[in-house]
Chain A
Amino acid sequence: MAHGALTLDHEPVTGIPHGKLGMWIFLATEIMFFSGFFATLIVMNHANPGLFEETAQKLSWQLALLNTVVLISSSLTMALSILNLERKDTKKFQLFLGLTLLGAFIFLVVKYIEYSGKFALDITPETNVFYACYFLMTGFHGLHVVGGIVPMVWMLGKSFTEAGYTNVGRVEVLGLYWHFVDLVWIFLFPIFYLLYNPTLIIF
């Protein structure tokens, strides 16, 4: 840095920290990204009458339900980890962030079991457009879970090496992202596993 440059970093004009504001804007772009997929799903459903109902019952809603519970719980533990960091309780923060991380891993393991079950039956995106949508959307959701794991590991590591780790803002931003990933799954779960599955229609 040259001489004479001033630090002009004022308080954020909106009162929202840069990171949080940026994450909200980024989540808006993410909504548009998944909207493209949902639009595709709707078009494919209309273009192929009967196909979705016929194929959807071959998906395992039990595994998906398990994943739903895991992911919602991980959102709760994420919120608790932020709360405990605000209270400067590092031990509990690490516990709850660790549990969130565990939830993310369980989700991916269940996903792996589900996918390999499909591959064993020779079911791939090539099979039909329902499966193509299924692999596309759950696949990209899975990538987003992986995208959450990376900073989680990093922050957890930081909290062990750095005494008195108190970067609440950063963990909060990660929390926003994680809740979004959770929310996408809340849409994917009923659409793929429940909506078109005639065996689950009780009325």
Chain B
Amino acid sequence: MEAVVTSPVEEHGHGHEHDHEHHESFIRKYIFSTDHKTIAKQFLGSALFFLFVGGAMALILRWQLAYPGEALPLIGSMLSDRFVSDGVVQPGFFMQMTTMHASVMIFLVIIPLAVGFFGNLCIPLMIGTDDMAFPTLNMFSFWLVPPAAFFLMIGFFHESGAAAAGWTHYPPLSVIGGFGHYMWTIGVFFVGFSSILGAVNYIATVLNKRAPGMKMFDMPLTVWALFITAILAALGTPVLAADLAILFFDQFFHSSFFIPEGWVVADYPNNGGGQPILFQHLFWFYSHPAVYIMLLPVMGVASDVLATFSRKPVYGYKAMVFAIMAIAFLGFIVWGHHMFQSGMNPLLGTTFMLSTIVIAVPSAIKTFNWLGTLWRGSITFSVPMLHALAFVATFVVGGLSGIFMAAAPADVFIHDTYFIVAHIHYVLFGGSLFGIFAGIQYWYPKLFGRRQNETWGQIHFWLTFIFFNLTFFPMHLLGIGGHMRRISDPNVYDFLKPFAGMNEFITICAIILGFAQLILVVNMLMSFKLGKKASRNPWRANSLEWAAPSPPVGHGNFDKPLRSYRGPYEFSLPGKKRDYLPQWKKPAKSESAEESAKQAAGGNGQAAGGGGH
């Protein structure tokens, strides 16, 4: 399986350095770049931009829930009359906001960050190669995101408004909903295409481009997680694409695939024979695995960060890998738990309930292994570590509340309430986003060559962690109290009136949570120029990306021949002077042996890949 050439020193040991004097044009270098690091930065930049767009939408929702009937502060007077009247959010606009907040956060923030950003940043560097298997395809998969964003958002500029059928976009509402809904379908199709191309690229890269000596089970867990995620995306996303294609037929050619028999509305020509629940089956066949697409990469990142800052090997490395695989496999056979209330045979519901609860097993393996990694470790509470710890903590809360929903009888009650909203935010914000922040903080020195300001990082973390919990934990209570989601004015219901104070509290916390994120961005931007220069291996970690200079050289990453000798988690080995042993360090016999091996590794690259690509 290994393509390792162990030939002795070739006479042209370092003859293959790029000595190009030509300068790439600005466009090739920064815009239509094929360098995976630049593409990672593009994913990061666009996703952080949309994080604020989606966050602003969330704050509009929160304002309306806390102060229904009161004019939006600051922006209320700037919005068009189609959305607000005298600055007060109208119910239709509220529905557009719920839909677009979720769509933006899922399709333009979390998936691009978890898969696009980490995939591009980590895979080539951590497996010790110069770029993806298909750099041009990689560029293409980023440049599908702007048109996707365009189609998702264009509805706001049309008189009928943006999509308002929920991010799940269930027909028949999405079919007759109008312009914004049609454009939404096209936009998400673009996102899906981007995911598919990315997934093909990641799988091929991991299988084919690992550094000499690196076996599959020598890969860091981040790469494992991204690899399994790519398989999920490759097998799940096309089904969503098919589903959207069928929805597109209904929307544009009036084919009534998803229109219920005998359903009459407006001037839609219903030809009968449609099955609205089929849309939901196909949709969740993708969208449940999509939950893991958003979560698994972050689990890998957290594993790496926890091990590095506990100075201990990841507890149960292989168990971690198999747990990722188990979650991915089970993720494909649980989609029905989103549809307990959709009119499904109760027997089928029970099947889905059981398969869903089984997911708790690999999830628990991962959680206990994280705790095992921390156990008696020499822990540094650096900014990345704090975010990773927050990830583990909030993931446990989100996972446990998930079990309530997995149980069909309990779900009958909490379905469509704020309990669901609390759960999704504990998993997607508390889980994915904290893990993403951990990764951003952890690899920032590698990607940009500078350290971020530690103090501001700590301030950002603590504000985010505290106000995240204050915002979303009370939502569990709202949900238990029967507070429905997607209602624009809770005060019209008598039984929700006692919750008015809690809604107000949540809104105040959410506003602080939102503004706290500015610290992250300002800190990142300021550190581009003002941060301390980062060394090659600022965290004293073991995986191959730390062998490259910070930032990695040009389009090619490594300045020295590279070979992997061991697994990525050799921390605190007994009897060693240093508490870490990087993957690229040759097992030392003598200085001269090391020298010749270096040249041999150099000879490899020459012998095998002289032609480049």
Taking beta carbons and an 8 Å cutoff, which residues of A are in contact with B? 1-16, 18, 21-22, 25-26, 28-37, 39-40, 43-44, 47-48, 51, 124-129, 132, 135-136, 140
Contact = CB atoms under 8 A, between A and B. Distances in A.
Interface size class of B (residues with CB under 8 A): 35 or more
B204 A18 contact: yes
Contacts of B608: 9-11
B242 A21 contact: no
Nearest to A15: B3
Contacts of B236: 32
Contact of A129 (B3, B274, B556): B274
B275 A13 contact: no
A30 B238 CA distance: 7
Contacts of A7: 16, 18, 130, 556, 605, 609-610, 612
A28 B235 contact: yes
Contacts of A132: 249, 253, 255-257
Contacts of A47: 273-275
13 contacts: A2-B555, A9-B609, A11-B3, A13-B3, A18-B134, A22-B204, A25-B200, A29-B199, A36-B241, A37-B245, A47-B273, A128-B271, A132-B249
Given A4-B554, A5-B18, 20 more contacts: A5-B130, A7-B16, A8-B562, A9-B130, A9-B612, A11-B609, A12-B208, A13-B1, A13-B210, A25-B203, A29-B200, A31-B238, A39-B281, A44-B257, A47-B274, A132-B257, A135-B253, A135-B255, A136-B246, A136-B249
Nearest to B128: A8
A96 B69 CA distance: 72
Contacts of B20: 1
Nearest to A129: B273
Contacts of A124: 253
A121 to B, nearest CB: 16
A1 B17 CA distance: 11
Given A43-B278, A129-B257, A25 B204 contact: yes
B24 interface: yes
Given A11-B3, A13-B3, A3 B241 contact: no
B129 interface: yes
Contacts, number: 202
Contacts of A8: 128-130, 211, 556-558, 562, 605, 609
Contact of A34 (B129, B237, B242): B242
A39 B130 CA distance: 41
A2 B208 contact: no
A117 to B, nearest CB: 18
A30 B193 CA distance: 11
B605 A22 contact: no
B554 A6 contact: no
Contacts of B194: none
B125 to A, nearest CB: 11
A30 B553 CA distance: 37
Nearest to B209: A13
Contact of B201 (A1, A3, A22, A126): A22
Contact of B605 (A10, A125, A126): A10
B513 to A, nearest CB: 37
B555 A5 contact: yes
Nearest to B253: A125
B105 to A, nearest CB: 25
A37 to B, nearest CB: 6
